[in-house]
Amino acid sequence: MEQQTQNCVTLTPEAVAEVQRMVAAEAEPEGKALRVYVEQGGCSGMQYGLVFDEKRDADQVLDCDGVPVVVDAISADFLRGSVVNFSDDLNDSGFKIINPNAKVSCGCGKSFEV
Domains of the chain: 3-108 (2.60.300.12)
Query: Rounded CA gap, 92 and 96, in Å?
Result: 9
Query: So what's the pLDDT on residue 109?
Result: 54
Query: So what's the pLDDT on residue 103?
Result: 74
User: What's this model's pTM, rounded to 2 decimal places?
Assistant: 0.81
**pLDDT, tens digit (0-9, with 9 covering 90-100), for 1-42:** 344 445 689 999 999 999 999 988 877 767 789 999 998 876
User: What phi and psi values does residue 37 have, to the nearest 5 degrees?
Assistant: -145, 170
Q: Give the mean model confidence (pLDDT) for residues 84-100.
A: 87
Q: 91: which residues sit within 8 A by CB, 6+ positions away?
A: none
The 3-state DSSP class for residue 3 equals strand
**pLDDT, tens digit (0-9, with 9 covering 90-100), for 47-60:** 889 999 999 999 99
Please state the length of the chain: 114
Percent of the chain predicted with pLDDT > 70:
81
CB 10 within 8 A of CB 85: no
